[in-house]
Amino acid sequence: MFETMIAIPAYDNKINGPLAETLIRLCRKYPERYGVIVHGGRASLSLVRDEIVATFLKSDCTQLLMIDTDVICFEEHINQLCNRVLLKTEERPEMISACVPPRGLADRVKKRYVGELEE
């Protein structure tokens, strides 16, 4: 079993190529650490996300990382996020999350990418 469930809520069960390549590399390199599920086929992404959380809560995984299908991230970004949660110090965050601006506002919001997180 793996410790981090990477879940992709996909309305049409499809994900972008760069994200798929990243996930394949991660699972091959760290099979005990990462596992991936792509979940979709529902009329509502909210329902899909709820089902992903239910699956996670029934599993033995200690972390859940949910990535939308339109996000492109790379191996080092996922490792950096997961390593922050695995810190064995008092500074360890209970949760890391992101707010995504609604379509139309995205071009007016300053973007910060995962690779820009401060240590």
Contact (CB, 8 A) for 114 and 73? yes
Q: Which class for 7: exposed (0-12), middle (13-18), buried (19 or more C-beta within 10 A)?
A: buried
- The predicted-structure confidence for 70-110, as pLDDT tens digits, reads as follows 777 788 888 887 777 666 566 666 666 665 655 665 556 55
Whether pTM > 0.85 for this model: the answer is no
pLDDT at residue 81 in the model: 78
Q: pLDDT grade, residue 116 (50/70/90)?
A: low
Q: Is the pLDDT of residue 111 over 70?
A: no
Cα 91 to Cα 68, 88, 94, 105: the distances in Å are 27, 8, 9, 33
Question: What does the DSSP 8-state code read for residue 106?
Answer: G
- List the end-to-end C-alpha distance of the chain, in Å, as a whole number: 29
- The predicted-structure confidence for 35-80, as pLDDT tens digits, reads as follows 998 988 887 888 998 999 999 999 998 888 888 887 777 888 888 8
Helix axes 75-85, 17-29, angle to 10 degrees: 60
